[in-house]
Amino acid sequence: MENITVGIEVAKDRLDVAVRPSGEIFTAERTAAGIEQLVARLLQLAPTIVALEATGGYETIAAAAFASAGLPVVVVNPAQSRAFAKAIGQRAKTDPIDAAVIAHFVEATKPDVRPLPDEETRLLADLVARRRQIIEMIGAERQREKRATAKNLKKSIARLIKALEKEMTSADADIGGAVRASPVWREKEDLLASVPGVGPWIARTLIAELPELGRLNRKEIAALAGLAPFARQSGQWRGKSFIGGGRTSVRTALFMGAMVAKIHNPVLKVFFDRLVAAGKPKMVALIAVARKLLIILNAILRDQKPWQTA
């Protein structure tokens, strides 16, 4: 049976669709009716995979509609598909061409199709993201406050910081309420927060923005969080390994947890101290702690067993 791959370029008002290996290209409106018609057409095609690029949220509704209809959907990193286009010499760029490149990319790389977060998880992710944005705005205003000299300007900044802090309190309450309202999330939060170094906000960030936690193996979850080391070598030359990609917000949360865990978590403190004693730079050791913390958390959700020191 022929494997059918579908690539979709998502724009604000429309979806450009490319089908491989037939080469068929068509468009659909990015409206409720347009997406519904597209779902029906894709169900008739019975594709092996349907791929969309992450486009700042425009892809969310379409991807959710495909997943709820039972279509095998995956959201791909646009940087990777762009690099693939360059590698195959595709320089022209239009929405239909981009859709064809996405289809070719997933046909060649065969990414794993993972379940998309449900509506409640996406809502929690939006709340967590909003809280993070507010924190960034507060930080920016505090920097401006340090540089400001005019009295009226300082007062204006102070008023804005106070308003942002009020918004953050409101976001905290919304997130806490969402977690407490879900028995599944409460259980996950309790399991994750049982690990020394992981507080409620780190746990909630992971629940919202890493829903695959507990369902993947250690290498897959590390890669998804951007904590898998990539080697650099050519012939006899050996460069330093590095990390990158993945979900920045998740990686940031894990670094925060690692900074606490290397002091207060008995297992990870010994691990960190041993790496430093062996001559590893402290930042390299901290990255290793963050990765090990993630692997521990992944195992805890997989096994549904809280942290145990012995």
- Helical (H) or strand (E) element with 190: helix 183-193
Give the chain's mean pLDDT. 85
Structure tokens at 291: 């990765």
pLDDT of 34 reads: 87
Burial string for 185-203 (b: 16+ CB within 10 Å, else e) reads beebbebbbebbbbeebbb
Q: How confident is the model at residue 196 (pLDDT cuts 50, 70, 90)?
A: very high
Q: CA-to-CA distance for 39 and 246, rounded, in angstroms?
A: 29
* Highest mean pLDDT pick, 55-59, 132-136, 173-177: 132-136
pLDDT of 260 reads: 94
- Helical (H) or strand (E) element with 1: none
Helix/strand/coil for 232 = strand
Those residues whose C-beta lies under 8 Å from the C-beta of residue 152, and which sit 6 or more positions away, are none
pLDDT of 229 reads: 65
8 close to 17: Cβ distance less than 8 angstroms: yes
Half-sphere exposure of 39 (CA within 13 A, CB side): 19
Q: CA-to-CA distance for 114 and 109, rounded, in angstroms?
A: 15
How distant, in Å, are the alpha carbons of 6, 41, 75, 92, 184 from that of 81? Answer: 14, 25, 11, 14, 35
pLDDT at 76 over 60: yes
% of the chain surpassing 70 pLDDT = 91
Least confident window among 104-113, 172-181, 199-208, 297-306: 172-181
pLDDT of 123 reads: 77
Q: How confident is the model at residue 3 (pLDDT cuts 50, 70, 90)?
A: confident
- Say which residue, 216 or 268, is predicted with more confidence: 268
Q: CA-to-CA distance for 268 and 272, rounded, in angstroms?
A: 6
pLDDT at 164 over 50: yes
pLDDT of 155 reads: 92
38, 75, 41: which is closest to 58 by C-alpha? 75
pLDDT at 172 over 80: yes
pLDDT at 259 over 90: yes
What is the distance between the terminal CA atoms of the chain, rounded to a whole angstrom? 52
Q: CA-to-CA distance for 14 and 108, rounded, in angstroms?
A: 26
pLDDT of 237 reads: 37
Structure tokens at 211: 């829903």
pLDDT of 116 reads: 67
How distant, in Å, are the alpha carbons of 195, 260, 276 from that of 270? Answer: 15, 13, 10
pLDDT at 242 over 50: no
Q: CA-to-CA distance for 163 and 298, rounded, in angstroms?
A: 37
**What mean pLDDT is predicted for residues 32-60?**
84
pLDDT at 302 over 50: yes
pLDDT of 186 reads: 85
pLDDT of 227 reads: 83
Q: How confident is the model at residue 295 (pLDDT cuts 50, 70, 90)?
A: very high
**What mean pLDDT is predicted for residues 225-248?**
58
pLDDT tens track for 124-153: 778 888 888 898 899 999 999 989 889 899
